[in-house]
Amino acid sequence: MDVSELENLRSPDDLRTLSPRRVRALAEDIREFLVDSVSRTGGHLGPNLGVVELTLAIHRVFSSPRDSIVFDTGHQAYVHKLLTGRQDFSTLRQRGGLSGYPSRAESDHDVVENSHASTALSWADGISRARLLAGDTDRYVVAVIGDGALTGGMAWEALNNLADSPDQRLVIVVNDNGWSYSPTVGGLARYLDAVRTDRNYERVLGWGKRTLQGAGAPGRLTYDALHGMKKGLKDVLRPQQGLFEELGLKSIGPVDGHDLDALDAALRSARGYAGPVIVHAVTQKGRGYVPAESDAVDRFHTVGKIHPETGLPVVPSRFGWTAVFGDEILTIARSRSDIVGITAAMPEPVGLAPMAREMPDRVIDVGIAEEHALTSAAGMAFAGMHPVVSLYATFLNRAFDQLLMDVALHRAGVTITLDRAGLTGTDGASHNGMWDVALLRLVPGLRLAAPRDEETLRTALREAVAVSDAPTVVRYPKGDLPEPLPAQGRMAGMDVLARAAGDGDARVLVVGIGPFATTAVDVVARLKDQGIGATAVDPRWVIPVPAGLVEAAADVDLVVTIEDGLVTSGFGAAVREALAEQGLTVPVRAHGIPHRFLAHASRGQLEEELGLRPQDIARDTAAAVARDQQGIDITSAPRPSTQP
């Protein structure tokens, strides 16, 4: 594969010395590189193929890192990484390799990690305002935001403020490809679609391009001249196409997001204007890679390892947690007409697509607007429906206030399903779904289930939607389903998964939450080998702490909890508090995720690093039992072990 132009590139400064012909050759090199590299590692392929020319143009017109480039969301920054000296993608999203998002630890060219959408405009506003206040008026901020991210309310809060700040050196590039994770929905999508599909659209682009080229040297065309050209088009453009300018923001476009000459001229014109300017660029997600261009479901938004020639996965996915949810919620909805699905721009990733295809009126995609999703769900519950709001666990953080004050305060019968709860690994710090249990413990009346396998997920979902007077949550991890783990019996309302008698008097209760139920069984087996009696249990519903767990804990010498959430204020901490409230002094050893952000790595690597493997927990438990028998306090939290 010939990547000579890319191999010769060392910094964005080199990019500005290339002729237009060489820049176009570089664009093709980059696409070949992305398909070849990402097919080996997995990652966000479609979004990056769509922003090749756009990113090239931004770096040719602006001078990073002196000018700050903020991506919303950061998964479209692979091309930016390549242009800023990071061309080793062999360990992309792997421990020690490049992050799948911008990272300040990697480069001074990166500003915001930003894998949560709709925040870039607020970042850009803050940066540009601070520079204005400091008298630093010759540096620019460029915010690249997709039409999908513009469905988020925070983006419009920022636009509202920017419209009142005429002196900021800020360029907003709207990367309009008609998609977020799925096709963009809502009024904004219809507005942008009207621009793209207007019968005069090609005339507008052609006229605009000729006018820009006629300006002569790049940058010679002023904003006012371009704005005058747009006024001259008023007879061929619909009135609603002035949306951004009606808000008080100057706008340029639409411009062809794959035409380097048009992009260069539009960005230079925006740069020459003293104030916030929007450049509307129309792009194609997956551009230049036939499998990605033709996939209607957009499975190329993010991929695992694939065959680059066909786009097919190297290892086909097994039946996973998300698919089970999708199958079960559709079954439930067929028998209950009050069940409504709500998704925040992700019907396919969270499993609501099958229900949407069969019952399109009963699945609502609100766009990237988790706050609205939760409060709208409260309203639907008031009106007699039972909404099921399906999110990635990491995105629930954005709607905590609405869950607390709109749903829980009003005792609304709303079910929330949290996909990708716990350790997600390769997507990095912001995507680990590790905050939900600690957060949701604060919500009065809320109940949360953590199923361990397919059967308990189906059961938990049915139990959750049966609750009509309080919020319920069902959390489950990313990836393939584990092997079924049937209960051997029941104890105090909990599933008993394993029992082992010991040689002495020590009695240990091992509580495994969700996918760590299997770990609890392994821990019990390892303790048995050391002569320690133990029982592994799964309460399945973990918030609030089941009374049966408190009852069972009263009869043991040590409780061990294992969870894939924050150990600080998590389930183990809740068990400790529940025992204390009953006057029980049984020590609790809580194992979970420490109170820090986690670097990207595989789930297995993170479990080893955090001491969450069965051998780590069994070793800590045996040591705690030995200290307890010696009369030494064992209530302090365990330290993660990384030894085999």
Give the separation between CA 502 and CA 447, rounded to whole angstroms.
35
Binding residue numbers for thiamine diphosphate: 75, 115-117, 148-149, 177, 289, 370
Q: Which of 285, 447, 528, 589 is catalytic?
A: 285
Q: Is the peptide bond before 254 cis (omega within 30 degrees of 0)?
A: yes
| DSSP codes, 480-526 | BPPPP---SEEETTEEEEEEE--SSS-EEEEEE-GGGHHHHHHHHHH
Binding residue numbers: 75, 115-117, 147-149, 177, 289, 370
CB distance 421 to 321 below 8 Å: no
Give Cβ neighbours of residue 269 (< 8 Å, ≥ 6 apart).
212, 219, 221, 222, 223, 226, 252
CB distance 477 to 423 below 8 Å: yes
- Strands, E, within 50-140: which ranges? 68-72
Give the separation between CA 142 and CA 155, rounded to whole angstroms.
15
Closest by CA to 600, choosing from 109, 101, 181, is: 101
Report strand pairing: 533-538 vs 558-566: unpaired
In the Cβ-directed half-sphere of 612, how many Cα atoms lie within 13 Å? 27
Q: Encoding tokens for residue 612?
A: 């969450």
Give the separation between CA 450 and CA 475, rounded to whole angstroms.
5
Partners of 70 in the β-ladder: 143
Binding residue numbers for Mg(2+): 147, 177
Give the separation between CA 199 and CA 248, rounded to whole angstroms.
27
Give the separation between CA 225 and CA 219, rounded to whole angstroms.
12
C-beta neighbour count of 110 within 10 angstroms: 26
Vertex 468 angle, CA 466 and 474, to 5°: 55
Q: Encoding tokens for residue 122?
A: 């607020």
Q: Which of 370, 563, 607, 608 is catalytic?
A: 370
Task: Check if 528 is active-site.
Answer: no
CB distance 342 to 376 below 8 Å: yes
Task: Check if 370 is active-site.
Answer: yes
CA 600 to centroid of chain Cα atoms: 13
- Strands, E, within 269-338: which ranges? 277-282
Report strand pairing: 507-512 vs 533-538: parallel
Give Cβ neighbours of residue 503 (< 8 Å, ≥ 6 apart).
531, 532
| Sheet of 170-176, strand order | 68-72, 141-146, 170-176, 277-282, 250-256
What backbone phi and psi angles, to 5 degrees, belong to 193? Answer: -65, -35
Q: How many H-runs (helices) and E-runs (strands) does the chain carry?
A: 26, 18
Q: Encoding tokens for residue 144?
A: 């690249």
Q: Which of 86, 287, 398, 540 is catalytic?
A: 398
Q: Which of the residues are catalytic?
A: 285, 370, 398
